[in-house]
Structure 1
Amino acid sequence: MTEVSIVIPAKNEAENIETLLDGIDAALAGRDYEVIVVDDASDDGMAEILRARLARAPRLRVLRHDLSGGQSAAVNSGVRVAQGAICATLDGDGQNPPEELPKLIAPLEAPGSEAIGLVAGQRVARQDTLSKRLASKFANGLRARVLNDHTRDTGCGLKAFRRAAYLELPYFNHMHRYLPALFARDGWGVAHVDVSHRPRGGGRSHYSNLQRGLVGIVDLAGVAWLIRRRKTARPTEVTK
């Protein structure tokens, strides 16, 4: 039985994907795991690279979106077909070091960890442009004040969570940036782990600071609404 499913949302990462997959195999050597790459309608040759790798990588599975749905849609597609009780995610651009994966998975497997639903990576020494770091700092600060999610960096792609708990969350576009608040909304504990960060190996980012900001305002209001209307009653079966 698969213990852990690694889900990678990726679009046009032909320059980075093989190095990333090699790193995951090295980081999880000795474990029972699978890797699910969700190709979000790439057109840079990444699909051909993945197809060729499938022949020699029995742990690899590849899903492909016919139309680009974005990062949250890709994560959702991967988690839905995952076989592991624990899922871990990292970005396809290589900026999330795969050697951090065991550190994220460990809190979910520790004795007495049943109440923890999510382990969120928190980037330190970010290898991004100054403008991106400043925009992220502002967005994280605003989100933390509105949602009180006690998370410094929700934009980090390195996360691990219980698959069953994730599938109970309300699904919407861009939800990947609000997972700590959504897991807490459903009564799950959220743990945080500091992780390292790398410069992008190749290609380019698919988001601009303005694009993130405009979408984020709408999303933040929506998540705040969801939290205010969270369910408070849980059924318990009565036995004889």
Structure 2
Amino acid sequence: MRYHDRRQAGRRLAEPLRDLQLGGELERPLVLALPRGGVPVGAEIARVLHAPLDVLVARKIGAPFNPELGVGALAGEGPPLFDGRSLAVLGLTAEELAPRVERERAELRRREELYRGGRPAPGVRDRSVVVVDDGLATGVTARAALRAVRALGPARLVLAVPVSSPQAAAALEREVDRLVCPYRPAAFQGVGQWYEDFSQVGDDEVVATLRASAAAR
């Protein structure tokens, strides 16, 4: 099974989430999408749940010799979350990565300002929060995002993703009250292989999607 694009994946995810809402499990829902790929997915979910949509910006912390190799992540104002096993294998320490962490934190704040246009972050305390991404490979960035939200005191924390590696799904199931992920293929190699159209989502699309979602409500 493959999704046509992120919007179609969002509509598929919205069905079980709507059932949870009707069953009383999602009261006063708030959808927080991880930009950029999670935003089109989250927009479809927010539309069906009649919920506000906002962003939850998280940044991967890459290894010094290969920025694409994630060894940790950060979200919100909390401390970075590192993969201890990766640090040990690569012979790295958190102290060595401190300059890279500060650069990623600066980029995180820049993107929050860009996407929200000066709006404050939405309050999550005592709300049902649905965190959305377009898929999970390692899950390290999503884990940092989930812990940042959990620290703010939501009534319920749900992670919704269209597809995930079995390993990431199993690990993140322990971080949330419920994981909604309809597809966990054993032959997982990357998120993009499970979409017919996995075109890059740009900043302009993120901003336009957020504005359209707010106007629709």
- Give the TM-score of the pair, scaled to structure 1: 0.30
State the structure with bigger RCO (CA 8 A, min sep 6), 1 or 2.
Answer: 2
What TM-score do the two structures reach when normalised by structure 2?
0.32
Q: Which structure: larger Rg?
A: 1
